[in-house]
Structure 1
């Protein structure tokens, strides 16, 4: 499995937002959606505020592939479900990184529905 370089982890992990475009069944990219991104160790994660019912999340289920852009990095990725064992750590990073938005806004990604729609981003090399 491919891994992120330290430069990619730093750039994407420190970026305020990430644009994510999932691949359709025919291989074409959907329109990108802007979202928050967090780094936990050597991994990058995104969550859908609308849980598994969210349109962009459902789009990631088609091929489990897409393209991201953040922090000056644009790369193709594979989407995989995050290990529930890291949900608490991911919550902590969301709360710390985006604390200026307040608990009401952060609560949109730190709740059981959003946790169930946590995606780990894996670079395709």
Structure 2
């Protein structure tokens, strides 16, 4: 990990219902902005998908590993880390964050095995 989010940055991200992400192409330009759910565990930022893992924003993200995010009051370049196969404790923490933020009805799809395997950590790129 190159750096981490400040407490204030993480609070901005955690307060947002959704996050906008644009994945970088090989030439450095941004793909279109996509709206996704986002959670924080401490000052770490996580996103998941529950479908289309090889295509769409997620497929591009796992190939590029670079992007830009935006929430109200914050826009930042990020490095994208695939953490879907990390320890069970991380999965449990991210699952709990999704349930707490989005509720059990809406969030159920985001805490299943497929979604947990598709967990990405967004790390700020800093000079």
Same fold (TM over 0.5): yes
Q: What is the CA-CA distance between 1:57 and the residue it aligns to?
A: 0.7
In 2, the alpha carbon distance for the partners of 1:58 and 1:112 equals 18
Q: Which residue of 2 aligns with 1:84?
A: 86
Q: What is the CA-CA distance between 1:44 and the residue it aligns to?
A: 0.4
Give TM-score, length-normalised by structure 1.
0.90
Q: Which residue of 2 aligns with 1:68?
A: 69
Residues 54/74 of structure 1: CA separation in 2 closer, same or farther (3 Å cut): same
Equivalences for residues 94-113 of structure 1 within 5 A: 94-99=98-103, 102-103=104-105, 105-113=106-114
Q: Which residue of 1 aligns with 2:31?
A: 30
| Conserved 8 A contact 1:51-1:116 | no
Q: What is the CA-CA distance between 1:62 and the residue it aligns to?
A: 2.6
| Conserved 8 A contact 1:81-1:120 | yes
Q: What is the CA-CA distance between 1:113 and the residue it aligns to?
A: 1.0
Give TM-score, length-normalised by structure 2.
0.89
Q: Could you say what the CA RMSD is over the residues aligned between the two structures, in angstroms?
A: 1.4
Gaps of 5+ in 1: none
| Conserved 8 A contact 1:52-1:113 | no
Q: What is the CA-CA distance between 1:49 and the residue it aligns to?
A: 2.0
Q: Which residue of 1 aligns with 2:97?
A: 93
Q: What is the CA-CA distance between 1:54 and the residue it aligns to?
A: 4.5
In 1, the alpha carbon distance for the partners of 2:112 and 2:7 equals 30
Gaps of 5+ in 2: none
What whole-Å deviation, never above 9, does each CA across 1:6-25 have from its counterpart, x for those lacking one?
Answer: 11010001111000110111
Q: Which residue of 1 aligns with 2:44?
A: 43
In 2, the alpha carbon distance for the partners of 1:18 and 1:65 equals 15
Runs of 4+ in 1 over 6 A off after TM superposition: none
| Conserved 8 A contact 2:38-2:46 | yes
